[in-house]
Amino acid sequence: MPAVETRNLTKKYGDVVALDGLDLTVERGELYGLLGPNGSGKTTTIELLTGQRTPTSGSLSVLGIDPVSDPIAVRESVGILPEREDPPSFLTPREYLEFVSDIRGLDNIGSRIEEWARKLQFQGILDTLSSDLSEGERQRVMLAQVFIHEPELVFIDEPLVNLDPLMQAEVKTQLNEYCEAGNTLFLSTHFMEVAEELCTTVGIIAGGRLVAERDPRELDGGLLDTFATEVRLDAERRETAHERIENGNRVEGASTR
């Protein structure tokens, strides 16, 4: 059974189509990257998969669980890091991670916190108020809360945001080791180098549709050329479809006069 599977997944906000019949399969153990421009449907996809929003139509499965009928079970089973999420400003990293661990019913909480503080290099700020931390330090704390309960599947929206180059390299190592242990990582990004360096499979999304899937290691021309080509072709297809609809409406309107 795949870690993630969607079939004809559609999400509309009024007249705006955020996802347009998304068919997606992520096998267990993959480091899957959803790559697309701003507004392409990446964040909406993660919100649907993690039970934060309800689809307009279509089906989806996460670790064999339906996020629509049982969103709590999905959230208990996975790790989630939305973009621009921070720890509460009035808690220290230690207090926040203790809270997360307690909510998840973990044991050996102190050793888990120390382990991830060491891995992500924030031992020295464990007892500093989060309001006094830099953006990069807060991002490291949020990454720790994703992994502290050792989930089989993790969703991260822009994993390297606000991190300096040295910390980016360390986080990439941790993400790779996580997947090498047999777990699955689903990340979304609009940064080409993140998808190219990290992912075993990259899905290119444009206009709420999956327009291509590639193994970035097998692309002779590089991921940038493929991304640019697929996004341009999708825009052309959508423009052509729009013109057909407009022409059809004009013909229908003329025939009724």
| Residue at 232 is within a domain | no
Range of the domain at 193: 4-217
Residue range 211-226, pLDDT digits in tens: 888 888 775 556 666 6
Q: Do 146 and 185 touch, CB atoms closer than 8 A? A: no
DSSP 109: H
**CA 153 to each of CA 2, 27, 36, 41, 221: distance values in angstroms, whole numbers, following the listed order:** 11, 11, 21, 20, 31
**pTM above threshold 0.75:** yes
**146 Cβ neighbours under 8 A, 6+ residues apart:** 79, 80, 81, 154, 156
Q: Is 252 among the domain residues?
A: no
257 belongs to a structural domain: no
Q: How many domains does the chain have?
A: 1
- Distance between CA atoms of residues 59 and 57, nearest Å: 7
Domain assignment present for residue 60? The answer is yes
pLDDT at 245 > cutoff 50: no
The one-character DSSP state at 125 is G
Q: How many CB atoms lie within 10 A of CB 239?
A: 10
The 10s digit of each residue's pLDDT in 119-129 is 999 999 999 99
- CATH of residue 42's domain is 3.40.50.300
| 228 located within any domain | no
53: confidence class by pLDDT, cuts 50, 70, 90:
very high
Phi and psi, residue 145, nearest 5°: -65, -25
Per residue in 87-97, pLDDT (tens digit) is: 999 999 999 99
Q: How far is Cα 101 from Cα 127, in angstroms, rounded to an integer? A: 16
Domain assignment present for 153: yes
Cβ neighbours for 219, distance < 8 A, ≥ 6 positions apart = 225, 226
Q: pLDDT for 164-205, tens place per residue?
A: 999 999 999 999 999 999 999 999 988 888 888 889 999 999
User: How much is the average pLDDT of 55-83?
Assistant: 95
In a domain, 30, yes or no: yes
d(CA 212, CA 254): 39
